[in-house]
Amino acid sequence: MNGFSLTAQKACLAGCQSCHLVSKVRPATRGKYICPRCGSVIHQRKPNSIQRTWALVIGAFIFYIPANVLPITIVTSLGKTQADTILSGVLYFIATGMWPIAAVIFFASIFVPVLKLIILTYLLISVQKKSRWRPRDRTRLYRITEAVGRWSMVDIYVVTILVALVKLGALASIEAGPAAVYFAAVVVLTMFAAMNFDPRLIWDAMEKEDE
């Protein structure tokens, strides 16, 4: 299957990220190159990938704090008001014995966002240090990070459904808390961060050695 042992970048070529077509790119030019087939802008490496990913990751870390400290839902039931954070919601489900739901919320809202931020931070540092340690596994980590991020939106959808459904006048009502906006921002920022990271940078460190 393999008739080559060089990368597209070394061959002055670039693979289109949208339609896979490999086309010629002149090296070290600042102008934009357009894929001759699908018309999207092509790069040998995503531009400023490391800086942009860092900025988005740091932004997500910052928003992660209010997302967990502030209440995500405010429940008013028979005149009593109770504010719930993401974590207190999980603890409530554990206390009432609803393990599966506690697990879903814990994984989607706490575990996955933190894991994603840690993995992206690790990948960024390893690329900047030109690490040559297990690139295949690091690429796999990146693939997982990109795939699981969307599931963190679950809590936002739960809040949307609850506020629409629980409007029983004086009996009970639910309002979305300020944490919902911060949490949504964390999810969106980490998705953009994963998109901006270029996994080909992991492999560039391997190239240097071969020369």
Partner 1 sequence: MHSDTIIACHECDLLQRVRPLPPGGVARCSRCGGILLQHKRHSLDRTLSFTIAGIILFVVANTYPFLALKSGSLVQETTLFTGIRELSAQGMPELAVLVFVTTILIPLLQLLGMVYVLGPLKFNKTPPGLAIIFRCVRSMQPWGMMEVFMLGILVSVVKLAKMASIVPGLALYSFAILIFVLAAAAASLDPHIVWERVAIEK
Q: Which of 67, 124, 189, 191 binds partner 1 (CB under 8 A)?
A: 191
Q: Read off the tokens for 191.
A: 């998705």
What is the spatial distance between Cα 50 and Cα 29, in angstroms, rounded to a whole number?
19
Shortest Å distance, C-beta 58 to partner 1: 20
Task: State which of residues 29, 32, 157, 209 lies at the interface with partner 1 (CB under 8 A).
Answer: 157
If binding means CB under 8 A, how many residues of this protein chain bind partner 1? 73
Q: Give yes or no for residue 9 binding partner 1 (CB under 8 A).
A: yes
Min dist. Cβ of residue 146 to partner 1 (A): 8
211, 209, 210, 207: which is closest to 8 by C-alpha? 207
Residue 199 CB neighbour total at 10 angstroms:
19
Give yes or no for residue 199 binding partner 1 (CB under 8 A).
yes
Tell which positions 131-150 bind partner 1, by CB under 8 A: 135-136, 139-140, 142-143, 146, 149-150
Q: Are 199 and 127 in contact (CB under 8 A)?
A: no
Largest pairwise CA distance in the chain: 74
Of the candidate residues 12, 36, 128, 134, the single one contacting partner 1 (CB under 8 A): 36
> Cα separations (Å) of 153 from 18, 59, 140, 209?
25, 18, 23, 42
Q: CB of residue 121 vs partner 1: minimum separation in angstroms? A: 19
Contact range with partner 1 by CB under 8 A, out of 47-55, 57-65, 94-102, 125-133: 94-102
Do residues 41 and 32 lie in contact, with contact meaning Cβ atoms separated by under 8 Å? yes
Whichever of 8 and 55 has its CB closer to partner 1, that residue is 8
CB of 77 to partner 1, least distance (A): 8
Q: 72, 84 in Cβ contact below 8 A? A: yes
Q: Label residue 100 exposed, middle or buried (CB < 10 Å: 0-12, 13-18, 19+).
A: exposed
The stretch near partner 1 (CB under 8 A) out of 49-57, 61-69, 123-131, 199-207 is 199-207
Site track for partner 1 across 50-89, x = CB under 8 A: ----------------------------------------
Q: Which two tokens stand for residue 187?
A: 């999810």
